Amino acid sequence: MSEWNETEFGQIGNVVSGGTPSTSIPEYWNGEILFVTPYDLSRNKTAYLDNTDRKITNAGLKSSSANLLPPGSIIISSRAPIGYIAIGNKAFTTNQGCKSITPYSDFDSLYLYYCFNYYVERIKRLGAGSTFAEISKGDLELVKFPHPDDKNAQIKIASILSLVDVCIEKTQSAIDKYKAIKQGMLHDLFTRGIDITTGKLRP
């Protein structure tokens, strides 16, 4: 049986903040590097983030305080609003509204994704600011999260939760399909009606 511990965020992996290239210099934008913002996280519906609304160039990356994070790194929106979470499926960078963590080899990214989502209120409680809530890198690094010491146990937990997510997605797809069918039926039934002798729609 794997032992469990609580580890501070800053000891789970390398935590970095984001940055934004100058928006007045066209050469910094419309490149191929994913540029993650809280807006992108808010629209993402799965554990993994594959694309972003805007992208930057290598020149834009070098000109700013943004950091290029490897695939498998976890992104958390740290303001406007706090608490959206995803795993980068490709190399990415973020703006100042996000914090990212590249987990050390002892930690599984997908396990951490589910763990952070479950304990998201711990993250949200750190928010402070006169204009809007925001989490600092230093505060985030001190938050503790539980985990099995055995990485294989982390992977097993994540795989079970991932399977449930797949079932939810399939169920939601079926619900959406039947909602569309119902909408079509409503239109036909209320505009054409039923022939009570044949049980079919009227012409």
- Tens digits of residue pLDDT in 144-175: 999 999 999 999 999 999 999 999 989 999 99
Work out the burial of residue 88: count CB atoms within 10 Å of its CB; fewer than 13 is exposed, 13-18 middle, 19 or more buried: buried
- Tens digits of residue pLDDT in 189-203: 899 889 888 888 888
> CB-based contacts of 3: which residues, under 8 Å, 6+ apart?
148, 149, 150
pLDDT recorded at residue 54 = 97
Average pLDDT, the chain: 93
- pLDDT classification of 47: cutoffs 50, 70, 90: very high
Q: Which helix (H) or strand (E) holds 48?
A: strand 48-49
Distance, CA of 186 to CA of 173 (rounded, Å): 20
- pLDDT classification of 131: cutoffs 50, 70, 90: low
Q: Which of 23, 19, 27 is nearest to 67 (CA)?
A: 19
- Residue-by-residue DSSP string for 62-77: HHSS--PBPTT-EEEE
Report residue 96 as tokens: 């100042």
pLDDT of 19 strictly over 70 = yes
Rounded to two decimals, the pTM is 0.86
Distance, CA of 17 to CA of 137 (rounded, Å): 7
Distance, CA of 7 to CA of 27 (rounded, Å): 42
51 φ, ψ (degrees, to nearest 5): -150, 160
